[in-house]
Amino acid sequence: MPKVTYIDHTGHETQIDVPAGENVMHGAVYNGVEGIAGECGGALSCATCHCYIDDAWTAKVGGPSSEAEEELLENASAEVKPNSRLSCQIEMTDELDGLVIHMPESQY
């Protein structure tokens, strides 16, 4: 099963098995990882699952998957960077095994 490492704003790391086909936000929410709220449950209607893709993974994960994701990121409470994504829009695959994401200090 693919693994994701979630790194909070203090540098604390949590590694979680996230099944292929599931999104990165659910991996965090279902396992009690602090730093990703996922208020809308992954319906692409908020930005409380904002994350930063680790530099080593940005090419593989890619940029925002849709115009809707880009628009929501514009309203994220934390600084939006070139490697910003909504974790609900990143579907895990075996190729993403080992993915590392960083979480902003706050989602609100």
- Cβ atoms 16, 31 nearer than 8 A: yes
Domains defined along the chain, listed by start: 3-102 (3.10.20.30)
Q: Report the pLDDT value the prediction gives residue 73, as an integer from 0 to 100.
A: 95
Residue 4: pLDDT over 90: yes
- pTM here is 0.95
C-alpha to C-alpha distance for 3 and 21, rounded to whole angstroms: 13
Average pLDDT (72-86) is: 95
